[in-house]
């Protein structure tokens, strides 16, 4: 009887360890798949930005780049949610602006709040695809000229006036993807990260906020030098 009990105890311990090891392996595989899926969605947003058919539209006065290219909007971030259910990649009517004012206070209401992604229960579809797994928020901003070195964004060896091109300017694009289903954090806290933090901030940005809440996310930061011929 004692031998049988020892055998049963050993089998129980081995079984428990096997189950625990399987759960750890499953969590590792799930985290890897989730990270890959979020990176793919961030890549998809970046590919849309670089698409030549979208680029011409983006440079228009109400486009993704054209709207914030003026001096009054330099340094401000134009934010929108990459929605798979939307026919157009970007529309100004579903975009928002966020920036720090002179008193270092966040301002996010200049264009309304329709551009910020929402993770809570809502009739609107803020997901990048019908799988409703990943939410991706995009922010676009031009470098403030006061913080740039003279001619640092210009094409080397090119005279802008003789070549008949506009002054080259640097634009920074942040794409942040997250999976709300993989976290138990309150949706209001996640939404606060998305609509009350600046992406380009290195200390209290969107990524810092999500990391502080232990929300799974992936962020891509891409810089472009934009110029345009005016023949």
pLDDT in tens, 62-115: 888 989 888 888 889 999 999 887 888 899 999 999 999 888 899 999 999 989
Asked if the structure places residue 67 within a domain, the reply is yes
Q: State how beta strands 77-81 and 96-100 pair.
A: antiparallel
28 within some domain? yes
* DSSP secondary structure, 51-64, as one string: -HHHHHHHTSTTST
The reported pLDDT for the residue numbered 230 is: 35
Residue 231 lies in a domain: no
pLDDT of residue 77: 94
Give the tens place of pLDDT for each residue, 17-60: 666 655 544 454 456 778 888 898 999 898 888 888 887 788 88
Cβ atoms of residues 117 and 126 within 8 Å: yes
17 burial level (CB within 10 Å; 0-12, 13-18, 19+): exposed
Structure tokens at 84: 């798979």
Which tokens go with 229? 């011929």
Decide which of 69 and 212 is more confident: 212
Q: Is the pLDDT of residue 231 over 70?
A: no
| Residue 6's pLDDT band (cuts 50, 70, 90) | low
Q: Is residue 23 in a domain?
A: yes
pLDDT digits (tens, 9 = 90+) for 118-145: 997 666 789 888 778 899 999 999 986 5
Answer whether residue 30 is part of any domain. Answer: yes
Contact between 229 and 165 (Cβ < 8 Å): yes
Q: What is the pLDDT of residue 153?
A: 47
Q: Which domain holds residue 35?
A: 2-226
Tell me, what's the pLDDT at 146? Answer: 46
What tokens appear for 25 in the block? 């392996």
- 206-221 average pLDDT score: 92
Residue 77 domain-assigned (yes or no): yes
DSSP conformation class of 112: B
Number of domains in the chain: 1
pTM of the model: 0.78
Q: What integer pLDDT is reported at residue 198 of this predicted model?
A: 93
Strand partners, 99: 107
For 139-187, the pLDDT digits (tens) are: 999 986 544 455 444 555 555 555 555 567 889 999 999 998 888 899 9
Q: What is the mean pLDDT of residues 1-27?
A: 64
Asked, for residue 196, whether it belongs to a domain, the answer is: yes
- Say what the pLDDT of residue 50 is: 86
């Amino acid at each position: 009887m004692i031998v049988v009990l020892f055998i049963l105890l050993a089998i129980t311990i081995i079984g428990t360890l096997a189950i625990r090891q399987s759960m750890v392996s499953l969590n590792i595989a799930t985290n890897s798949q989730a990270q890959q899926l979020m990176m793919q969605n961030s890549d998809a947003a970046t590919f849309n930005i670089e698409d030549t058919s979208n680029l011409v539209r983006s440079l228009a006065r109400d486009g993704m780049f054209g709207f914030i290219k003026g001096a009054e909007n330099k340094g401000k971030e134009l934010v929108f949610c990459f929605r798979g259910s939307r026919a157009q990649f970007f529309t100004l009517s579903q975009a928002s602006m966020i920036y720090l004012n002179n008193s270092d206070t966040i301002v996010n209401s200049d264009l309304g709040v329709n551009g910020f992604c929402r993770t809570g229960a809502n009739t609107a579809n803020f997901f990048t695809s019908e799988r409703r797994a990943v939410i991706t928020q995009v922010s676009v901003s031009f470098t403030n000229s006061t913080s740039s070195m003279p001619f640092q964004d210009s094409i080397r060896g090119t005279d802008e006036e003789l070549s008949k091109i506009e002054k080259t300017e640097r634009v920074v694009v942040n794409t942040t993807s997250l999976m709300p289903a993989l976290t138990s954090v309150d949706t209001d806290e996640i939404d606060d990260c998305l609509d009350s933090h600046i992406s380009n901030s290195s200390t209290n940005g969107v990524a810092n906020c999500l990391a502080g809440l232990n929300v799974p996310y992936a962020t891509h930061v891409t810089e472009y030098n934009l110029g345009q011929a005016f023949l």
